[in-house]
Amino acid sequence: MEEPILITGAGIVSAIGLNKQEALESLLLRRSGIGPVRYLQTAHTEFPVGEVKLSNSEIRSILGIADTAPTIRTALLGMLALKEALADANMAEQEMSEAAFISGTTVGGMDKSERYYLDFLATDNYNAYIATHDCGASSELIADHFGRFGFVATPSTACSSAANAIIVGANMIRSGMADIVVAGGSECLTRFHLNGFNSLMILDREPCRPFDAARAGLNLGEGAAYVVLERASSAMKRRVKPLARLDGYGNACDAFHQTASSPDGDGAYIAMQEALTDAGLAPQEIHYINAHGTGTPNNDASESRAMQRLFGGQVPPVSSTKSFTGHTTSASGAIETVICILALQHQFLPVNLHWRHPIEGGIVPVTDSRPSREIRHVLCNSFGFGGNDSSLVLSKYDER
Which one of the listed residues 159, 188, 208, 380 is annotated catalytic? 159
292 is catalytic: yes
CA torsion through residues 120, 126, 127, 130, sign:
negative
Same domain? For 208 and 263 the reply is no
Same domain? For 320 and 373 the reply is yes
Q: Residues 27, 347: contact at Cβ < 8 Å? A: no
What angle in degrees, to the nearest 10, is found between the helix axes of 110-122 and 191-199? 110
Same domain? For 164 and 274 the reply is no
**Would the pLDDT of 259 be above 60?**
no
Same domain? For 88 and 226 the reply is yes
Same domain? For 18 and 162 the reply is yes
299: closest CA among 339, 273, 275, 332?
332
In a domain, 390, yes or no: yes
CATH number, position 165: 3.40.47.10
Name the pLDDT band for 362 (thresholds 50, 70, 90).
confident
The mean-pLDDT minimum among 78-92, 175-189, 253-267, 360-374 falls in 253-267
**Would the pLDDT of 44 be above 70?**
yes
The residue-averaged pLDDT of 143-159 equals 93
The residue-averaged pLDDT of 264-285 equals 93
The mean-pLDDT minimum among 50-64, 251-265, 279-293 falls in 251-265
Percentage of residues of the chain with pLDDT beyond 70: 96
Same domain? For 231 and 263 the reply is no
**Would the pLDDT of 119 be above 90?**
no
Same domain? For 252 and 127 the reply is no
Same domain? For 231 and 349 the reply is no
Q: Which of 204, 238, 272 is the last residue of a domain?
A: 238
The residue-averaged pLDDT of 388-393 equals 94
**The pLDDT of residue 329:** 95
* Cα within 13 Å of Cα(131), Cβ side: 8
Q: Cβ neighbours of residue 75 under 8 Å, at least 6 residues apart?
A: 109, 132, 137, 138, 141, 142, 145, 186
CA distance 71 to 354: 36
Pairing of strands 244-253, 5-13: antiparallel
When divided into structural domains, the chain yields a total of 2
Same domain? For 386 and 264 the reply is yes
Q: Which of 238, 264, 295 is the last residue of a domain?
A: 238
Same domain? For 163 and 73 the reply is yes
346 is catalytic: no
Which one of the listed residues 292, 340, 354, 377 is annotated catalytic? 292
In a domain, 73, yes or no: yes
In a domain, 45, yes or no: yes
| DSSP calls for 55-111 | -HHHHHHHHT--TTS---HHHHHHHHHHHHHHHHTT--HHHHHTSEEEEE-SSTTHH
CA distance 354 to 322: 11
In a domain, 243, yes or no: no
CA distance 81 to 356: 33
Cα-based angle 318, 323, 326 (whole degrees, multiple of 5): 125
List pLDDT tens digits, range 197-253. Answer: 999 999 999 999 999 999 999 999 999 999 999 999 999 999 999 999 999 999 998
Q: Which of 183, 217, 238 is the last residue of a domain?
A: 238
**The pLDDT of residue 267:** 85
**Average predicted confidence (pLDDT) for the chain:** 94
Percentage of residues of the chain with pLDDT beyond 90: 82
Same domain? For 180 and 59 the reply is yes
Which one of the listed residues 133, 193, 287, 327 is annotated catalytic? 327
**Would the pLDDT of 280 be above 60?**
yes
More confidently predicted of 266 and 347: 347
Pairing of strands 318-319, 288-290: parallel
Tell me which residue range forms the domain holding 195: 5-238
159 is catalytic: yes
**The pLDDT of residue 62:** 97
The residue-averaged pLDDT of 36-63 equals 97
> Which DSSP category does 37 fall into?
-
Q: Residues 371, 346: contact at Cβ < 8 Å? A: no
